[in-house]
Structures are given as structure tokens and as C-alpha cells.
Structure 1
Amino acid sequence: MSNSDPRRVKQSAQSPVKADIPSSATPRKRSRRDQRELTPRKIIQAFEGNIEPVTPTLMYRLCALLVSFVMVLLPLFYIAMIGGVIWGVYFHAVHSLSLFEAGSSSTTTRNRGKGMILLLLVYLAPIIVGVILIIFMLKPLFSRPSHSSAFRALKREKEPLLFMFVDQVCDAVGAPRPVQINLDIQVNASAGFRRGWLSMLGNDLVLTIGMPLVAGLSLRQFSGVLAHEFGHFSQSAGMRLSFIIRSINIWFMRVVYERDAWDERLEYLSQSLDLRISWVLYLARLFVWVTRKILWLLMMVGHLVSGFLMRQMEFDADRYEARL
């Protein structure tokens, strides 16, 4: 970060990052002296002033209100579907008992016995299918998403230089500082609430950095990526709205596409049992499939409604990256 470097990149007057951060436009092999120059003092001196905040337009605010209203309605519609299935099962279980009264009027004992068995199947089949459908519809409300990617949490006292650098970027952007930094193996960087919905009321943020991304970027480029991520959190209401929209969209994707041991068990039982019994399970699988197709339509509505707003949020975050 030496000021005598002739190949430094010119920064605009509005940028809070001084031009003495080396750029990768003309790559060179860093010497040991260059590596020793990266000190807390140099990091602090590399930033001066703050980025001009991105002001949302009136159209953006109106769109945010509309998207928020629609995105909240979609899960409520799903819960209403569950309530409708529960009511349908209850209505059938209570009001279909009259079938047995009609079956008992058979003239012969033999016909009465066969009729009662058929009526019992007609009565129990919707109840069994409905209970299975209710279980599979309630399951996504309580199941937790699977976390396949492992990460390593860094501590401030062990990595003070990294935390100081991230803090400087947050201060320049005007975003709250993260309380935790994680490392993973993804070619990505992301910032979000550390404990999900539990962190919505505060600024309990976590920054996740992919090691392949860090290895392939210069310090200037890495600063821009961080400015983009924290640009989403520069506005308190905007970062919470973004989190709600993304959470609902991801939840619908889980409901539609994710399969677990329950789905495998239902498929196994329907294929292994006798057809005189398993036809009820096949019918249950059909209704589960139809329900997921309806949820697929709701998911596409959510993507369609929130697509414009999320794209505008990305543009605003890009402006923070460009201004750094």
C-alpha cells in the first residue's frame, strides 16, 4: 500500500478509498516488503470519508410496499390451504356416517356384509389420504433447512486485521458492523442475520466469505465485494425487507422441491404393499403432488412479484461497490 507505486489506480473524488490500495489491473508478484506494509494503520489511512448513500425513489418505496403485501399473503394462502384440508377431513368424518345407515338396509346378510366393507373403505380412504396430506403440508412449517456447507467462524482477537478492514468498509458504506465472520469453500460472499428471524430486531449480522473468492481477488476488488454486500444493509428497513422476501422465496423452494425421509417412506410403502391396500397411498401421493404444483404456482408468483424489487436492490448495492 505504498504511495510510491506508479501503477496505482486513480480514484474518483467521492470514493472513500485512497488510491494507494494496489489494483489487479497490472498484476505483479508481491514482495515480502509489500506484505509487511498491510498494517492496521495502513488500513485506516486507506479510507477517508464515507460513501454517498443511495437514496430510494418514490417508485421504489411504493414497489416495496406492494411486494411486502403480496409476499406476506402467499404463506397465509398456504396456511389457509391446510385449514381447508383439515376442515374437509373433519366434514367427511362427521357427515359421512350416514353411509353406514344406508348400507345396513340391505336385505340379505351376505350383501349387507359386502356393502359394509365397501362403505368402510369409502369412509376411511378420504380420512387416511387427508391425514397424510395434512402431515406433509404441516411438515415444511416445522422442519429446518439442511445446512450442507461447513464453515469456520473467525474470532476478532485472532484475526484483528481482517475485522478492522471489514469494519472500515462498513463505516464507509454506513452499514452496521458484523459481529461474526465465517469462512467457507464457496466462491461467494454474503452478509445476513446471524440467527435468522431471531436477529431481525437488532443488528446481529454475520459475514460469510468464500476462500476461493478471496484467493482470486485483489484487495481493491475484495473491498468492492464487501461494499456490495453491506450495501444491502445500509438501510435498516431495506435489509429487513430483503431478508423477509428472500426467506419466503427460499421457503417456497424448499416446500416444492425438497424431499426427505417422509417422502421416501411414503413412496416405499406404496410400492411394497399389496395393491388392495397401497391404492390409498398412491392416492395420497397424487394429492401431495397436486398440492406441490399449487405451491409451485405460488412460488412463481412470489418470484415474479419480488423480481423487480430484488433486482433494484442489487443495482443499489452495485452503486455502493462502484463508489467505494
Structure 2
Amino acid sequence: MRRILGLAAIICWIAFQPSEAAQLKHFKVGAWDSGAYSDGPQGKFSHCAGSASYNSGVIVTLLINREYKWGVAFSHPAWNLTPGTDINLAYVVDGGEPRATTAKVVSNKQALIGFGGDSDRFKEFSRGYFLRIAAANQVFTFNLTDTAKLLPALLNCVTQQLNPAPVLASTATRTAAPVGQRGDFRAEATVITANLLSQAGITGFRIATAQEFPELKADAIWAASNVIGTINILPTATAKDLDELRSAVIGNDAKACKGMFFSGSIPDDGKEQLIRVFSTCQVKDVSATNYYLAVPRKAGGIYILRTMTASGSEKPAKEADASIRKAVFTALPK
């Protein structure tokens, strides 16, 4: 309930208090009119959102707030809703399974479904074509064109507002529509990255592009001061593959190292973590360190989380890895 109310307050700034809310940035993603917003004229950044109007008169808004919680809101100028009440409804994305949920009425013209940090729903909306909502004996259908571009663009918008840093490739290039299942994994890994780093307390991070780090083959890449990280999704891996995974990780790093190479397994300090591995490559006086963590994936398979330093002290990567390990099972889908 607290997550929904928090998102509801943000939604109100978008559509119903334009004289008070300030738009910090404006951009278009297909038919979605998008931007970054503050919580008042002189206020701090609160959220990024994209809105689209439909022939029915309904305006659909997708948003992600500064805590990387997200939601979808529906508004219509002719509605006369009772603020503070709940609307029981069901929704279906494409031909998927109907899901019952509750929308919070945030004004007499608008209602909000808050999804918190649910990456499964994020992925579902990213790859969907149509959204159908059944409420009050009516069925509404909405086209989800370009949500595969919009949602990652909103994630990037939030990251840039919280941690201003130069981005070397355009959002449009990075957020091209997913192709097949790998695109679904990228959307899943991106939202998990944002949630995980936020909960881990890692500041100054941004979601990076594949073009910035072409040597890193990953479903999501992030960068912060002196630290780079990745997430890979191995959808078919199981516990019996752990020894092979451990050997492959160390073997790949050893092959790439042109100097002295050190590696090893780190004792597991939790019941749910699968493997922890580190490797260090030292060339003359320069060393690069990698920390790996493998954890189970709710939908099946394994996440491989990598934290690394490009050069110099291993301390930033070690500290980031420790923070991520503490937060990982809170941030991952349950």
C-alpha cells in the first residue's frame, strides 16, 4: 500500500498540477510524450513518465520514480471517481494469463496501478502488444506500441537525473525493440540492475550501453565511479551446472589475461547464494579484479552478477560486491 500511495502522489504531479510540477526534460518515444519531472517548481527530481492518448479519450501514463518503483495510470476528463478509493480490476497483456489487481484512485479523473519493483510485470509490459483492462463491467483495450523502447528509456531517464553523467550512445540506439527471447532477458536484467543498485546504496551509477563496452557480453551493464558491473541471465542453467560455470568463468578470465593471473572461490556466507568467485589479472603494476556472484532465478535458471575494476585498487569493486550481496535477495523477484 505504501508503494502505491507513493506512486500515486507522483502521478498527480504529472496530469493535474502542471502549475506546480516542473518538467526538467522532454523527449518523445514513438507516440509516447515523455519527460522528467520534479515535485514542484524548485523541488527535487521525482519521476520520469511517458503518456499516450487513445481514441476512447483515455490517457495512459507509464512512470518510474526516483526509487525505481514503477506503475501505470489511466485518466479521462469525463470520469468522476472518488479519490482514495480502490478499484478492483483484471488485466491481460496480449493472450497471457488474466491478473487480478487493485488500482488506487488518486484524483477524480485518474487511477493508478502500482507495480513497485516487479521486474516480471515490467518485462510483460515491455514485450506486450495489447493491454486489456476489465473494470466496472467494461473492457478497455490499449495498444502497447513502443513500450519496449519507452520503459528502458524511462529507466535511463531516472538514472541520468539521479546521477548526471555523459552517455556515449543515444537512448534510441540502446532501447531498440527486443528481438526474441534475448530482448526479454535484457529488459528483465535492466530493471533488476536498477532496483539492485538502488537498494545496495551504490551511488553515481548509470545504466550503460552495449556500444560503450563492446567487449562485455551481458544482458545489462552498469557503470559507477571506478566500478563496472554486468548481469547475465542463464535461463537453462541448474545447480548441477555450478562446477562447470565456475570453471568457465575462471577459464575465460585466465585466457584474456596477458600477465599474472590469480583466482579462487570465496566461501559462501548465505544459504541461498550459489557460487562466489574472484579473479585478478596483473600486468606490470596494473591489476584488474572481477567478483562474480551466481544466484537462482525465480523463472528458472541463474543470474550471474559481475563487479569489476578496470584498473588500480580492487577496493571499489570489493565494496560494491559486498553491498550487492547484502541486497540481492531483496531486489530479485520473489
TM-score over 0.5 for the pair: no
- Look at both structures and tell me which one has the larger radius of gyration over its CA atoms: 1
Structure with higher strand content: 2
- Relative contact order (alpha carbons < 8 A, sep ≥ 6): 1 or 2 greater? 1
Structure with higher helix content: 1
